[in-house]
Amino acid sequence: MAAPAVPVQEPVADPRTAYYREVRQKNLQLAKERYKQTWKGRTQEFIRGRGTVAIVADEVCMGCTHCFDNCAFEAIAMADRKFVLPDYSYTSRKAVIVYENCVGCEKCAIVCPVDAITMAPKFGFEVQEGKLVQVGPVPPKPAAPPPPAAPPAVAPTAAKTGGT
- pLDDT score of 141: 63
Give the whole-angstrom CA distance, residue 80 versus residue 92. Answer: 6
Q: What DSSP designation does 123 have?
A: T
What confidence tens digit (pLDDT) does each residue in 132-148 have?
676 666 556 666 777 77
Q: Which residues of 112-148 are buried (b: 16+ CB within 10 A; e: fewer)?
A: beeebbebeebeebeeeeeebeeeeeeeeeeeeeeee
Residue 77 above 50 pLDDT?
yes
**What would the pLDDT profile of 90-143 be if each residue is shown by its tens digit?**
888 899 998 888 888 889 999 999 999 998 887 776 666 766 676 666 556 666
**pLDDT computed for residue 65 by the predictor:** 92
**In order of start, what are the domains of the chain with their CATH numbers?**
50-133 (3.30.70.20)
Give the model's pLDDT for residue 45: 46
Average pLDDT along the chain: 78
pLDDT in tens, 148-157: 777 777 766 6
- Range list of H helices, the chain: 15-34, 40-42, 66-70, 107-111
Strand-pair partners of 27: none
Q: Cα–Cα distance between 39 and 37 in angstroms, integer?
A: 6
